[in-house]
Copies of this chain bind each other. A is one copy, B any other.
Amino acid sequence: MTVTPSPEAFRAARAEGNELLRSSGALFESFFSLDGAAYAPGALPASVKELLGLVISVMKDCEECVYYHLERCDEERVAREQVLEALQVALVGGGSVAIPLLRRAVSYMEDLPTLARQHPWTERRG
């Protein structure tokens, strides 16, 4: 059991790891390109694709994938309520074993500009 990381710590660790992976063989690089192509806006906007990536990540219990797609949802200005509804669909689809990762997801959202709850009466952390 670990502490949910800050966005800064997550981004730094992810960037370093991806750099190492990309430099370890051309096929890794090709896979990253294909992944980028799949998430590029097309018939579906980027916001919807990021929500798809988010529920995929929950269903596969991929903690770091969840943080990444939450970041991308935040960048694409997906509303907090929309992300929460996607997580609810994932919970009903994947069952209670998804709950620990959902706890982390809502905790991580607290440090993202668009996705955090609004606290008019208090300072936001971070």
Q: Which residues of A are at the interface with B, using a C-beta cutoff of 8 A? A: 1-2, 4-5, 9-10, 13-14, 17-18, 20-21, 24-25, 27-28, 30-31, 34-35, 37-39, 42-44, 48-49, 51-53, 55-57, 59-65, 67, 79, 81-82, 84-86, 88-100, 102-104, 106-107
> How far, in Å, is A23 (CB) from chain B's closest CB?
9
Copies of this protein, total: 6
**B59 contacts A21, C-beta separation under 8 Å:** no
- Give the nearest-CB partner of A90 in chain B: B56
6 contacts between A and B (CB under 8 A): A1-B2, A1-B5, A35-B92, A35-B96, A52-B90, A65-B99
- Give the nearest-CB partner of A13 in chain B: B1
Having A43-B79, A92-B96, one finds 9 other A-B pairs with CB under 8 Å, namely A1-B5, A17-B100, A18-B99, A28-B102, A34-B34, A38-B92, A44-B51, A56-B56, A60-B97
User: Given A17-B104, A60-B97, A103-B17, A44 and B82 touching (CB < 8 A)?
Assistant: yes
- Give the nearest-CB partner of A30 in chain B: B34
**B81 contacts A43, C-beta separation under 8 Å:** yes
